Amino acid sequence: MRRLWRGAVARERDGALKFIGDALITDSSGVLLAVQVADCLPILLVDPGRRVVAAIHAGWRGTAGRITEKTIGRMRQAFGCDPRRLRAAIGPGIHACCYEVGREVEEAFTSQFPYWEKLIRRVKPSPSQVHWQQRLFSSLPPPAERRPRPALTAPEAEKRFLDLVEANHRQLRAAGILRRHIWTSPLCTACRTDLFFSHRAKHGHTGRMMGLIGLRR
């Protein structure tokens, strides 16, 4: 029996081991691997033939660091898994419709992935939005008579939206998993706060969901 994980190891108050990281792999039966998420993607992998499972926590940093590809690589190296036999499930997470990111995130992906234009969607503010802000600014009193004015959106300013699902789906395919062996949840956690926890939609005041995978004895 072998168990692998990426990250640090700590202990709970009762002495139980606690693995801290973005990926866990095991071929031990009767063991459940779990990842907690509240917008990041839970990705679960299984090799039915070799009886090996993995659980991945894929946020933007882990995704930019190719955590999904690296986990499959470790499964091949340590357990002899053939990616063509692997099954993958991408659970509910924040989708491109809601995942607005800054320049730091954009640069992380543009520097790593030649297909970054498939992952980052740039949206310019509408002319009506810019015009409304310009009218609001022109109606305000001079600076000496009021508090500092709020920042206005420049006409050339852009918003950026990251597609975490597409990014990880491409990593699964690049690692050798067949497209028909990948299941992806169509649900966005930020859109469906009636069903899921969302760190982004609730501004950090939310719970966590758990993705679980394991082997029966």
Which residues are within 8 A (CB) of 203 and not within 5 positions of it... i.e. 6 or more apart? none
Mean pLDDT for the chain overall: 86
Question: What is the average pLDDT across 143-160?
Answer: 57
> Tell me, what CATH number does 169's domain have?
3.60.140.10
In a domain, 155, yes or no: no
Tell which wins on pLDDT, 107 or 153: 107
> Where in the sequence is the domain holding 70, given as residue range(s)?
3-94+164-214
**Extended beta strands in 12-99, E state:** 17-26, 32-37, 41-47, 52-58, 87-90
Which residues are within 8 A (CB) of 90 and not within 5 positions of it... i.e. 6 or more apart? 41, 42, 43, 165, 168, 169, 182, 183, 184, 185
- Report the domain count for the chain: 1
Amino acid, res. 212: L
The pLDDT value recorded for residue 15 is: 72
Question: What is the average pLDDT across 90-110?
Answer: 96
The pLDDT value recorded for residue 139 is: 56
In a domain, 34, yes or no: yes
In a domain, 113, yes or no: no
Question: What is the average pLDDT across 13-24?
Answer: 76
In a domain, 109, yes or no: no
**Whole-structure pTM value:** 0.81
Which residues are within 8 A (CB) of 149 and not within 5 positions of it... i.e. 6 or more apart? 137, 140, 143
In a domain, 11, yes or no: yes
In a domain, 13, yes or no: yes
Asked whether the predicted pLDDT for residue 74 surpasses 70, the reply is yes
183 beta partners: 89
In a domain, 86, yes or no: yes
The pLDDT value recorded for residue 152 is: 46
What band does 100 get if pLDDT is binned at 50, 70 and 90? Answer: very high
In a domain, 8, yes or no: yes
**Residues 40-60: pLDDT tens digits?**
999 999 999 999 999 999 999
